[in-house]
Amino acid sequence: MIRMTKHNFLMIIAAALLIILSGEHAAGNENRLSHKKRITVTDLAGRKVSVQIPAEKIILSFDRHLPTFSAIAGHDFLEKIVGWGKITPISDQNIYREFKKKYPEIMSIPDIGTHAKGTFSVEKVMALKPDLILYPLWAVLDKYEGITDDLDRLEQAGIPTVIIDYWKDPFENSITSTLLIGSMLGKEERAGEIAAFYKDRVGKVINRLANIKKNKPKVYLEGASKEPSQYGWSCGNAGWGVILKKAGAVNIAEGIIKERGTIAPEYLLKTNPDIIIVSSFGGFWQQPDDEMKTVLPEYDKKPMLDFLKAITERPGWGHLDAVKNGKIYGIFDSSYYIYNNIYTFAVVQAIAKWLYPDEFKDLDPGADLHLFEQRFMPVYHNDLQMIEINR
Amino acid sequence: MNHRAENLYHQITGRKYTIVFSMGIAAVLILLADIAIGPAWLSIDEIFLAVFSPDSVDPTTSTIVWKLRLPIALMAIVVGASLAIAGAEMQTILGNPLASPYTLGVSASAGFGAALALVAGVSVFPSGKNYIVPINAFFFAMLTCLLMYSVAKKAKFSSETMVLAGIAILFLFQSLTALLQYIASEQQLQAVIFWLFGNLFRTTWQKLGISSAILLLTIPLLAKDAWKLTTLRLGDEKAESLGVNVERLRLKTFVLVSILTGAAVCFVGTIGFIGLAGPHIARMLVGEDQRFFLPVSALTGAILLSSASVLSKLIVPGIILPIGIITSFIGVPFFISLMFKKRGGYW
């Protein structure tokens, strides 16, 4: 009997092995479907979206999410991007160029168009059969033409849109978005590390600010989107507005501008800010005598300084305290990468340092940025330029 | 009988003089309001002091008044008047109630010229750094005027052809501009959109000077032809029988009006509606007689744009709202209510 049992036992083991092996084999044939499962996530617009994870074929609705996405996805980020809304390459931005050098394949990522220019193609998205499409909250809030209809159509076709956000609230939302993308890619751990790094670097500023009992300086921050003589946009309670607040500033646009808008010149003159910060993304306007063109921030600081100086020549600016005291700073980036991406920690540090130079003497935003790139980024772009006018 | 007719004439013209006069006063009042109102909330005394002795107030106040408010407020008057006069004379010489700088595609082509400078950096003439965009805009505005005129001449000034050709040109330049926007970087795209919205914040004293000079030169030249232009509305044959060289008058007026339009739109961008509504409102108030029609059109345009400027500062204090967006809000209700009142058909 015992022998028989032993025999049976072996038989059972063998059978079990066979089943397992064949199961494994079948699973391989079915494109690893057995690893896949459906989960419901809450995205940054508060929508409940059902997605299949781990997501392997992803569309970035705006190519400017490339740096953040590549940081979270890790070394094989490129295989995961099956399409994107291509707007950056038009002016061949610096970081894009760095990516292109190392990964020439990004040139052949299919373009799905963009709602920002009315070229978004639902059909193209469907043809690419993505597991999900990542869409930024600001684009949804801006209500580009046809955007809701298109996202509905994609949903009906079984392509989930997950809305992420690095703009409306560049702290809470950036962390949530990072973790969310990580969980959908099956990269929870890596996303967790990025979020922790981010929190830690922003925390350095926030914790110390809590003990600073000075009057907060009044700051005017302008996204310079036109020629230097024309006022650009400022943020109220989103984007830069939130960043300024975190960095310990009184944002003069708050309460006047809701999210994004242009401040009236005389309001600025009357408010007389202590510090002026000019930011420029995706190039800035330069007008050497007979030319009018946008130039990209390159490693050469001269055009940026010229631009800052040109801005201070606006009517009445000579009487502003910030101009008199030389408290004019610039944050230049070759695209919107810094602003709509995971790098905001470095910007908060830079601004805090400008606002409270003594208290944050030891802070080195550039070094932290570099460290971040070393740990998480596939390329080093060293593109962010934080410069100051010294009189 | 003769005496009665004369009395009646004086009564009618007297009423019209009153209208011109009271609109003049209204324009001045709105201009003052435009100078007085702004997000910095300066007191009336401060503004007064700043205007008449700029050195006695603090430099910021004098900058606000002299560099920001005065040129912009005056530009609103000048551009409003220019656009309305341009529309009025376009309607007169083309015999078409739909003619205006906007509907004939002049604004759209100016927009294209501006976009060409902003996106491609292409300037049609070598020019100083602050004038590339306006010069391009002006050039394309002229080009379209010329084109429209030759179409009008070929089509013997038939209303339908003119409107259709105008709309075709409008579409052509709109799609050319859209094409430029498509290839533009985001930065350039923003600049183009901002230009197309139309706003007065680019005004400087120099630009104001140019626009004003052209307006002030054009008005007497048009006023000189007031009678002849009035006869045009009776029809070409009648005008000719009264000794008017219709062809010459049309060409001359068209050239003047083109320059006027170009000088207005090239600095402020696309501000539609005023060129169309201004003259119609004037016509409803004083009729076709150019002696009144011309000044009342100008004043209506000035009042419309000036009120839009005031309103744009009041809607959301502290931020810049492009005036082009506001203009129609102000004009449309007034325009439509007048249209219903004058049921009899005024055209």
The CATH number of residue B44's host domain is 1.10.3470.10
pLDDT in tens, B220-231: 999 999 999 998
Q: How many angstroms separate the CA atoms of A17 and A165, rounded? A: 47
What pLDDT is stored for residue A34 in this prediction?
Answer: 54
Q: Report yes or no on A7 lying in a domain.
A: no
A85 to chain B, closest Cα gap in Å = 13
Residue A154 lies inside a defined structural domain of this protein: yes
Paired strand residues for B113? none
**Which of the four pLDDT bands, split at 50, 70 and 90, describes residue A53?**
confident
C-alpha dihedral sign at B116, B120, B126, B131: positive
- Is the Cβ–Cβ distance between A58 and A80 less than 8 Å? yes
- Among residues 222-251 of chain A, which lie with CB inside 8 Å of chain B? 225-227, 229-231
* Residue range of the domain that includes B125: 2-341
Chain A residue with minimal CA distance to B59? A319
- The nearest CA of chain A is from the CA of B116 a distance in Å of 11
**Maximum Cα–Cα distance across chain B:** 73
Partners of A257 on chain B (C-beta within 8 Å) are: 318-319
Q: Is there a single domain that holds both residue A250 and residue A328?
A: yes
Instruction: Give a yes or no: residue B346 inside a domain.
Output: no
Q: Residue A295: helix, strand or coil by DSSP?
A: strand
Question: Is residue A261 one of the residues assigned to a domain?
Answer: yes
Q: Lay out the sheet containing A385-388: strands in order across.
A: A250-251, A218-223, A275-281, A328-333, A385-388
B187/A contact by beta carbon, under 8 A: yes
Is B39 an 8 Å CB contact of chain A? yes
pLDDT interval class at A29 (50, 70, 90) = very low
A–B: how many Cβ contacts below 8 A?
Answer: 121
A230 & A169 share domain: no
Mean predicted lDDT score pLDDT of chain A? 84
Instruction: Establish if A75 belongs to a structural domain.
Output: yes
Question: B193 in contact with A at a CB cutoff of 8 Å?
Answer: no
Q: Is residue B185 part of a domain?
A: yes
Q: What is the arithmetic mean of pLDDT over A102-109?
A: 91
Q: How confident is the model at residue A186 (pLDDT cuts 50, 70, 90)?
A: very high
If asked whether residues A37 and A178 sit together in one domain, one would say yes
Instruction: State the residue for tokens 């750094």.
Output: B129
In a domain, A202, yes or no: no
Q: Does B3 touch chain A (CB under 8 A)?
A: no
How many domains does chain A fold into?
2
- State whether residue B55 sits within 8 Å of chain A by CB: no
Judged by CB atoms closer than 8 Å, whether chains meet at A315 and B59 is answered as no
- My answer on whether A276 and A319 are in the same domain is yes
- Is A27 part of any domain? no
> B159-183 and B132-154 are packed helices; what angle lies between their axes, rounded to 10 degrees?
150
Residue A196 lies in a domain: no
**CB nearest A319 (choices: B59, B68, B202):** B59
**Same-domain check for residues A229 and A180:** no
The domain tally of chain B equals: 1
**pLDDT of A294 above 80:** no
Whether residue A336 and residue B63 make contact (CB cut-off 8 A), yes or no, is no
* Structural domain for A265, as ranges: 212-388
Verify that A161 and A299 share a domain, yes or no. Answer: no
- pLDDT < 50 positions in chain B: none
Whole-number Å distance between alpha carbons of B79 and B89: 15
Regarding whether A358 and A247 lie in a shared domain, the answer is: yes
Q: Is the pLDDT confidence value at A282 over 80?
A: no
Nearest CA to B107 among B77, B148, B61? B148
> Which of A161-170, A205-214, B309-318 has the least mean pLDDT?
B309-318
Q: Does residue B194 belong to the interface with chain A, where contact is any CB pair within 8 Å?
A: yes
The pTM of this model reads 0.80
Whether residues A157 and A217 fall in one domain: no
ipTM of the complex: 0.74
Q: Is residue A204 part of a domain?
A: no
What Å distances lie between residue A99 and A64, A92, A333, B120, B206, CA to CA? Answer: 12, 11, 15, 26, 47
Burial A29-58 (b: 16+ CB within 10 A, else e): eeeeeeeeeeeebebbbeeebebbbbbbeb
Nearest CA in chain B to A119: B182
When mean pLDDT is compared across A33-42, A144-153, A209-218, the lowest value belongs to A33-42
pLDDT tops 90 at residue A117: no
Query: Which CATH number characterizes residue A94's domain?
Result: 3.40.50.1980
Confidence of residue A90 (pLDDT cuts 50, 70, 90): low
- Judged by DSSP in three states, A263 sits in strand
Q: Are residues A283 and A181 in the same domain?
A: no
Q: Which of A116, A266, A336 sits opposite B64 (nearest CB)?
A: A266
- Looking at the structure, tell me whether residues A50 and A162 fall in a common domain: yes
Residue B177, C-beta contacts closer than 8 angstroms, at least 6 positions apart: B108, B111, B112, B115, B192, B196
A300 plus A367 within the same structural domain: yes
Which pLDDT score is estimated for B126? 65
